[in-house]
Structure 1
């Protein structure tokens, strides 16, 4: 089943990063929270990965 990016990330990071924090990260990286993960460019994916990694560190 295809999900929006915000739902996929919030389910994956449940208990580690709050949904509001994930929304903030998506906003900071200029990625629409309603997009689907498969539509991300390689550059967007890298930017999002770095931002999420920094949040977990």
Structure 2
């Protein structure tokens, strides 16, 4: 194998790895934000129901 070919293969591998790492981090970030929003929505619904029940009892 030629030195130039080895450098090209290594460079292409590093470029593909960095692209895939960026996509992986982006997808993990999107999933985290989505789960956080769903959790906050459920929590707010529970708090709202508890508050409304207290107001109805008065």
TM-score (norm 1): 0.30
Larger Rg: 2
Bigger RCO of structures 1 and 2 (CA < 8 A, at least 6 apart)? 1
**TM-score scaled by structure 2?**
0.29
